[in-house]
Structure 1
Amino acid sequence: MSILVENGVLKVSGAQDKLRQKGQEKPDFLSDYTLIDIETTGLSPFRDRVTELGGIKVRNGEIVDEYSHLVAYSGSNKVPAFITKLNGITEEKIVNEGVAVDEAIHDFRNFIGDDVIIGYNVNFDLNFVYDLAKKYGEALLTNDYVDVLRLARAYYPKERHNRLIDCMQRAGIAQVEQHRGLDDSIDTKKVYDDFRENFTPELLENAKNKIKNLNLTEGELNPWELGFRNPVNNKKVVLNGHIHMDQDDAEKMINNMGGQAQDDLTAATNYLIMGDHDFFNRNNEALTKASELNKEGGQIKRLSESFFLSMLDDWARS
């Protein structure tokens, strides 16, 4: 039994089926690929919705096809005001111009096909598209991918921020970001092409070496190995219920990553990790105790095992 990160992919004995079976990140400069960018109502694929799917298909370095559609749902199509301010997408636009979600994800998944996927901070997009494809019975999104953000960090190692707009401005591509799927796809390709012209073999090798390879259960890890996105750093964590991870391994992982695995809940506990089925059991004793502690000033967050593993996987791929 073990919990590992191999080439940026989280591997968890006994619980691998709870993770998205996404492909592997492979930093490189390709001539043939599909580049994607999506818009959403928020940051979490567990509670937010895709509002727009955008992408371009590239062959021999040239755009040969485009995909761009707003996504409409049979239920709510409300868009938070701050999202509308950012990209102009409104509920009215989605209702009037959007494609039904089942049709949109079917077409978008076919548009991607078996291509290597490229995007900017693309793991964010992959999570949403993966979940949507799975929900509507499309082929799982297991394609390997290139994250242009990884290349940006290698090219601009001393910069505090390496957002898409930062790279666009530094390269003189544009001064503003549209925050629309197709427009941002095209701009991301321009940044990718700029890196292609200016990268050295050493920079590319550096980007590849930043992909994590760690044994999370072998021994305490150094902060520089874990990075600043470590989701359990300084967190006190309690595991409860039917957890598919080996509990001893999970506790070793938490402690090795700078957290503290607790045997019981206290007012200082940060996370209560519950088995997926236990998460919905309102009669759970640990849940009752967490609620009581929170009423007394605690700030215990209740997470399902699947959600917790998704957090870890996002960190492993960052």
Structure 2
Amino acid sequence: MSIVVKNGVLQVPGAQDKLRHKGAERPEFLDDYTLIDIETTGLSPYRNRVTELGGIKVRNGEIVDQYSHLVAYEKSNKVPAFITKLNGITEEKIINEGVPVDEAIHDFRNFIGDDVIIGYNVNFDLNFVYDLAKKYKLPELSNDYVDVLRLARAYYPHERHNRLIDCMQRAGIAQVEQHRGLDDSIDTKKVYEDFRQNFTDDLLANAQSKVKNLDLTAGQLEAWQLGFRNPVNSKNIAFSGHIHMDENDAAKMINNMGGDYQDNVEATTNYLIMGDHDFFRRNNPDWNEAKDLNKNGAEIKRLSESFFLNMLDNWARS
């Protein structure tokens, strides 16, 4: 069986349970949806925390409800200084005004419901919200979604940057981005509506065509198919321990995506992909070998199978 990307979703036989079961991307213009924007302490849902959950519920193109709360945790509410400088969210503000994380994610998940989700670079937000919902045993966030960034890239194909603030300024919506959940949700809706007014059928078809559909094991893929966010490109990758995906297919995928599959850990290895349980073993011989090589100048990173596959899924959805 092949490892494929279908409608932007990575499909890996034997290891699908390692992936977040998010919905599919649907580049289109809707009248009814929930638009979300979150703030975090950093870029990784594995290492960083959500500091604010924000969103608006839209019916017939009009905002009918909104959600906006800072999120408080029991152990730590520290916020990096550069984040505070960006959006004004501080540890003190979270402690004084924040809603306990279990209550916040419960209410936010209910707020979203079964709606199609809209957001700007929304896969980032979905990863954090998905993981929080899963942690607190809430309904899986498998809603389909619209990424306004995808529409922006189709509308401004020759621009180097298509950030939310870029689109806001080009459309005359605002000159400054607030970097707060509710404010950015409202601004994203304004950008979405601007695109709705100005998109042609050809532009929408172009945006829809950019959602990836690829067989990653069939043969060498072209650079234009893989894009510049390809996480495997020019990487030497080895596997260790009990891997759930078929290793022969995984090897084909890596080679077809411009990487190099290695049978063993070597000084040139970039990623050592380990079975999820093996990742925590202290006596894993491959990781011990990698650590020795690192002491002598190698730069081998250890990744769990789940982390690696979700990294690929994020690329598939980009």
* TM-score between both structures, scaled by the size of structure 1: 1.00
- Cα distance in 2 for residues equivalent to 1:64 and 1:151: 24
- Cα distance in 2 for residues equivalent to 1:283 and 1:81: 38
- Give the secondary-structure state (helix, strand or coil) at the position aligned to 2:137: coil
Q: What is the 5 A alignment of 1:129-278?
A: 129-278=129-278
Aligned-residue offset at 1:265 = 1.3
Letter in 1 for 2:197: E
Letter in 2 for 1:204: L
Residue 23 of structure 2 is aligned to residue 23 of structure 1:
yes
- Give the secondary-structure state (helix, strand or coil) at the position aligned to 2:308: helix
- Cα distance in 2 for residues equivalent to 1:215 and 1:287: 31
- Give the secondary-structure state (helix, strand or coil) at the position aligned to 1:54: strand
Which string of whole-angstrom CA distances, capped at 9 and with x for unpartnered residues, describes residues 224-270 of structure 1? 00000000000000011100000000000000000000011111110
- Match of residue 91 from structure 1: 91
Letter in 2 for 1:22: K
Letter in 1 for 2:141: L
Aligned-residue offset at 1:7 = 0.4
- Match of residue 118 from structure 1: 118
Which string of whole-angstrom CA distances, capped at 9 and with x for unpartnered residues, describes residues 20-39 of structure 1? 00000001100100000000
- Cα distance in 1 for residues equivalent to 2:162 and 2:104: 31
Identity %: 80
- Give the secondary-structure state (helix, strand or coil) at the position aligned to 1:195: helix
- Give the secondary-structure state (helix, strand or coil) at the position aligned to 1:85: helix
Letter in 2 for 1:109: R
The alignment of Structure 1 onto Structure 2 pairs a total of residues equal to 318
- Give the secondary-structure state (helix, strand or coil) at the position aligned to 2:146: strand
Aligned-residue offset at 1:2 = 1.6
Aligned-residue offset at 1:185 = 0.2
Letter in 2 for 1:234: S
Which string of whole-angstrom CA distances, capped at 9 and with x for unpartnered residues, describes residues 158-178 of structure 1? 000000000000000001100
* TM-score between both structures, scaled by the size of structure 2: 1.00
- Give the secondary-structure state (helix, strand or coil) at the position aligned to 1:106: helix
Q: What is the 5 A alignment of 1:296-315?
A: 296-315=296-315
- Give the secondary-structure state (helix, strand or coil) at the position aligned to 1:237: strand
Letter in 2 for 1:261: Y
Letter in 2 for 1:178: Q
- Give the secondary-structure state (helix, strand or coil) at the position aligned to 2:212: coil
Aligned-residue offset at 1:59 = 0.6
- Cα distance in 2 for residues equivalent to 1:238 and 1:41: 32
| 5+ long unaligned stretches in structure 1 | none
- Cα distance in 2 for residues equivalent to 1:88 and 1:244: 43
- Cα RMSD for the two superposed structures: 0.5
- Cα distance in 1 for residues equivalent to 2:14 and 2:75: 36
- Cα distance in 2 for residues equivalent to 1:306 and 1:48: 17
- Cα distance in 2 for residues equivalent to 1:280 and 1:136: 24
- Cα distance in 2 for residues equivalent to 1:179 and 1:173: 15
